């Protein structure tokens, strides 16, 4: 009898142990999956869940978001962090309406051409929304493949072309099975094969794991040191955005001055928000969220 493949073992485990997440439910469309993938970048699932539901309740399809203002996208993004993702998601919705009649495309090259959609997100949508065979490689997947196949305790800080090749070699040839395996690899890395406290006895591929066989220990801490937040420009930017989100239209400079006492740092943070396309000046003494004005419906082509 043929031994089950690596992908088969992980996929069987996934079908019995996967977390119950709404974007994984049958019938969830490509737009909802695209939104989830953008929100989940550098943000924990527990924070994404309510934001994802609220976002889709307001903008159930790309055309709905495209017809609204970037300011409203920033407001709805709330405190998920990295708010440029909200603007990029709206830019993506505009492109989907203009280029694809309002439907998220199913071809990888078309997904990659959308604003704000990179290598990971494009392949994730192609696999999870359309059941295609593509290597979907995030930090969790790279760690699983690095440990189980290469015998290394960690995969390093960034995705390389070799990571895509290594993952693709593990995927079944049948597209639907490959898409399932891609989701399974990711889930395994997220909940079992974690960075510093892997639960090896619960792993479906422990018996064939090269890293486990080597006897190496997991890293004592994260491979990348967590970024400090308190007192940084990121904190000041968040405070400024908080005031602007709560107000419709221009906010006087004097009101923003109350957010942070360090004039130089506050001015630098505000200038960064303008440069990033999140905030725009109004006259010489006020600022507002970018495009914080009447929405103009965008007709389908």
Residues 114-170 have pLDDT tens digits of 999 999 999 999 999 999 999 999 999 999 999 999 998 887 777 888 899 999 999
Predicted confidence at residue 262, as pLDDT, reads: 92
Binning pLDDT at 50, 70 and 90, where does residue 10 land?
A: very high
Q: How far is it, in rounded angstroms, from Cα 122 to Cα 134?
A: 10
Binning pLDDT at 50, 70 and 90, where does residue 300 land?
A: very low
- Computed over every residue of the chain, the mean pLDDT equals 91
Predicted confidence at residue 153, as pLDDT, reads: 86
* Neighbour order of strands in the sheet with 251-252: 251-252, 286-289, 279-282
Residue 84 in contact with residue 101, Cβ under 8 Å? no
Q: Does 37 participate in catalysis according to the annotation?
A: yes
Q: How far is it, in rounded angstroms, from Cα 232 to Cα 68?
A: 32
Binning pLDDT at 50, 70 and 90, where does residue 284 land?
A: confident
What mean pLDDT is predicted for residues 262-269?
94
Q: How far is it, in rounded angstroms, from Cα 271 to Cα 208?
A: 53
For 216-230, how does the pLDDT look when each residue is reduced to its tens digit (9 = 90+)? 776 665 555 656 777
Residues 6+ apart with CB under 8 A from 13: 184, 188, 204
For 73-91, how does the pLDDT look when each residue is reduced to its tens digit (9 = 90+)? 999 999 898 999 999 999 9
Binning pLDDT at 50, 70 and 90, where does residue 215 land?
A: confident
Determine which one of 37, 169, 217, 246 is catalytic. 37
Given the structure tokens 């507002």, which residue do they identify? 288
Helical segments of the chain, H only: 6-17, 30-40, 45-58, 62-66, 70-77, 84-100, 108-112, 119-128, 139-145, 161-170, 175-191, 210-214, 233-245, 253-257, 263-275
> What's the pTM?
0.90
In this structure, what token pair is assigned to residue 208? Answer: 């064939």
């Amino acid at each position: 009898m043929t031994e089950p493949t690596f992908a088969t073992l992980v996929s069987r485990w996934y079908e019995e142990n996967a977390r119950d997440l709404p974007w994984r439910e049958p019938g969830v469309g490509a737009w909802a999956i695209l939104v989830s993938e953008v929100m989940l970048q550098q943000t924990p699932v527990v924070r994404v869940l309510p934001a994802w539901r609220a976002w889709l309740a307001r903008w159930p399809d790309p055309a709905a978001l495209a017809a609204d203002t970037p300011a409203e996208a920033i407001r709805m993004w709330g405190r998920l962090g990295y708010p440029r993702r909200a603007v990029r998601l709206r830019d993506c919705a505009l492109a989907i309406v203009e280029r694809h009649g309002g439907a998220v495309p199913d071809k990888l090259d078309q997904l990659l051409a959308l604003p704000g959609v990179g290598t990971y997100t494009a392949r994730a949508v192609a696999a999870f929304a359309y059941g295609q065979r593509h290597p979907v490689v995030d930090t969790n997947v790279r760690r699983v493949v690095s440990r189980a196949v290469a015998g290394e305790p960690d995969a390093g800080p960034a995705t390389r072309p070799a990571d895509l090749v290594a993952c693709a070699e593990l995927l079944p040839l049948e597209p639907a099975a490959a898409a399932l395996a891609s989701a399974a690899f990711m889930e395994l890395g997220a909940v079992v094969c974690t960075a510093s406290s892997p639960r090896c006895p619960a792993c479906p591929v422990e018996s064939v794991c090269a890293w486990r066989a080597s006897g190496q220990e997991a890293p004592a801490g994260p491979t990348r040191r967590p970024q400090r937040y308190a007192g940084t420009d990121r904190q000041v930017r968040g405070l400024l955005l908080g005031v602007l989100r709560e107000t419709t239209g221009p906010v006087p400079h004097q009101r923003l001055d109350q957010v942070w006492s360090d004039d130089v740092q506050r001015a630098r943070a505000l200038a960064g928000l303008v440069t990033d396309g999140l905030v725009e000046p109004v006259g010489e003494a006020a600022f507002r969220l970018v495009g914080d004005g009447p929405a103009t419906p965008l007709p389908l082509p």
